[in-house]
């Protein structure tokens, strides 16, 4: 792989032990995937932030990097942590967990990362432009930035995204290259999709069929931010889809070649099939909306469903701290809290220690959350629309 003089200096340890170690990791990755050189990245998004995901080894690794004075070279944001930094005690998060989680966040802060703790940085002020190269690791954010924003990132692991942040570059391969952004499968959508959870259910089915393909959707009309983030998150959860195109909607769809590709047809049957196959419980004792983290529009819709009523069971609407602050200013937070719900920032059910908090069945409007919650939190799930889920817990 071609390296510039500055990059050779990094590799030879002239910029310190941490940069040398991190740059070696990027070189190994590049060699593995046949990269010809490194490219500068404009931002990094690092996963592996929850203490639940990284445990003591992750905590010690990050504290060691921070103690050695390592600093990120580009704008770096973080995936959700394991708790809401402000509301954790009131919500019943365990003290020992919180202590470790705060140490992780402190280490990231010393490294220079922004403590955004969200899987939707693009709704919280980090909106890459078309063609920008990134090193993001949250799979739903990777999918959204590639597909909807037209930026370019591979699906990084937490360590490789952090290495890119500390070195300012990433190996040039995969979705950074024009030729790998062409569709490889046509998905013909038949029938109506009603809201983001239907897109999530559809994406779950497609992700299982598509694996690592680049799907090109036909027949989708009128999908906005919420629908596209739900579709991408689900395909990345059940498959390894990191880029998709939607005819007439996503920015690269009009420029790619679709001739001669295999086709699959999906419709209402597949959508209902996902709702059914992912539902393993009956009566939720907690409802969690906002996977990926809720947009202002989703908060507003939830607030209007809650208007004039009160929840009988806990309701979390997970979002970024930035969107939560906007909701405080716009009055949406007061509406949700007035109905007994809670806008939860910095975390999500999947990466929180839900298994230690006494919940048994969780209602979710996201196929991704429904996919991961049983295995990672030991709970049963009900996967449905926000309307149906809220109706079930409203008095």
Count, residues in the chain: 395
Q: How far is the CB of 369 from ligand F3S (least distance, A)?
A: 5
Cβ burial of 188 (10 Å; 0-12, 13-18, 19+) is middle
Name the residue nearer to ligand F3S (CB basis): 200 or 335. Answer: 200
Q: Does 49 bind ligand F3S (CB under 6 A)?
A: no
Q: Does 318 bind ligand F3S (CB under 6 A)?
A: yes
**DSSP-assigned letters across all residues of 33-88:** TT--BEEE-SEEEE---SHHHHHHHHHHHHHHHHHTT---SSEEEE--BSS-TTTH
If one counts every other C-beta atom within 10 angstroms of the C-beta of residue 190, the result is 12
- Going by the DSSP 8-state scheme, the letter that residue 345 receives in this structure is E
Q: Does 291 bind ligand F3S (CB under 6 A)?
A: yes
**What's the CA dihedral at 30, 33, 39, 44 to 10 degrees?**
-90
Select from 188-196, 214-222, 329-337, 364-372 the region that touches ligand F3S (CB under 6 A): 364-372
Name the residue nearer to ligand F3S (CB basis): 246 or 318. Answer: 318
Name the residue nearer to ligand F3S (CB basis): 230 or 253. Answer: 230
Q: Does 350 bind ligand F3S (CB under 6 A)?
A: yes
Select from 34-42, 289-297, 301-309, 353-361 the region that touches ligand F3S (CB under 6 A): 289-297
Residue 44 tokens, joined: 């990094």
Interface with ligand F3S in residues 125-144 (CB under 6 A): 140
Q: Does 124 bind ligand F3S (CB under 6 A)?
A: no
Q: What are phi and psi of 167, to 5 degrees?
A: -110, -20
Q: Is the peptide bond before 46 cis (omega within 30 degrees of 0)?
A: no
Q: Does 286 bind ligand F3S (CB under 6 A)?
A: no
Q: How far is the CB of 26 from ligand F3S (least distance, A)?
A: 24
- Going by the DSSP 8-state scheme, the letter that residue 114 receives in this structure is B
Residue 252 tokens, joined: 């690269």
Q: Return the residue of 172, 245, 293, 301 that touches ligand F3S, per CB under 6 A.
A: 293
Q: Does 323 bind ligand F3S (CB under 6 A)?
A: no
Q: Does 368 bind ligand F3S (CB under 6 A)?
A: yes
Q: Does 83 bind ligand F3S (CB under 6 A)?
A: no
Applying CB under 6 A, which residues contact ligand F3S? 79-80, 119, 140, 233, 291-293, 318, 348, 350-351, 368-369, 372
């Amino acid at each position: 792989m071609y390296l510039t003089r500055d990059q050779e200096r990094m590799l030879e340890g002239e910029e310190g032990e941490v940069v040398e170690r991190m740059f070696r990791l990027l070189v190994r990755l590049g060699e593995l995937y046949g990269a010809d050189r490194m490219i500068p990245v404009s931002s990094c998004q690092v996963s592996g932030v929850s203490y639940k995901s990284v445990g003591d080894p992750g905590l010690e690794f990050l504290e060691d990097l921070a103690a050695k004075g390592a600093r990120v070279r580009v704008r770096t944001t973080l995936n959700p942590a394991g708790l809401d930094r402000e509301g954790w005690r009131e919500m019943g998060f365990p003290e020992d967990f919180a202590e470790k989680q705060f140490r992780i966040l402190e280490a990231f802060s010393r490294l220079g990362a922004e403590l955004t703790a969200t899987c939707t940085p693009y709704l919280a002020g980090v909106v890459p432009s078309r063609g920008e190269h990134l090193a993001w690791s949250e799979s739903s954010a990777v999918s959204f930035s590639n597909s909807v924003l037209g930026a370019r990132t591979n699906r990084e692991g937490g360590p490789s995204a952090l290495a890119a942040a500390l070195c300012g570059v990433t190996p040039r391969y995969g979705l950074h290259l024009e030729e790998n952004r062409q569709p490889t499968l046509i998905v013909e959508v038949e029938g109506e999709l009603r809201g983001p959870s239907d897109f999530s259910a559809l994406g779950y089915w497609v992700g299982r069929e598509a694996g690592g393909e680049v799907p090109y959707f036909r027949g989708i009309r009128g999908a906005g931010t919420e629908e596209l983030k739900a579709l991408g998150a689900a395909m990345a959860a059940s498959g390894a889809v990191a880029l998709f195109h939607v005819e007439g909607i996503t920015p690269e769809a009009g420029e790619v070649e679709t001739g001669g590709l295999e086709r699959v047809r999906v419709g209402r049957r597949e959508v209902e099939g996902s709702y059914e196959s992912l539902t393993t419980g009956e009566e939720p004792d907690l409802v969690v909306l906002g996977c990926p983290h809720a947009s202002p529009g989703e908060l507003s819709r939830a607030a209007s469903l809650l208007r004039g009523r009160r929840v009988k069971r806990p309701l979390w609407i997970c979002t970024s701290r930035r969107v939560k602050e906007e909701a405080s200013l716009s009055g949406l937070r007061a509406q949700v809290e007035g109905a007994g719900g809670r806008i939860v920032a910095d975390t999500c059910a999947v990466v929180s220690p839900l298994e230690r908090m006494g919940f048994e069945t969780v209602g979710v409007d996201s196929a991704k959350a429904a996919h991961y919650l049983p295995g990672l939190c030991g709970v049963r799930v009900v996967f449905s629309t926000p309307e149906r889920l809220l109706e079930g817990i409203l008095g």
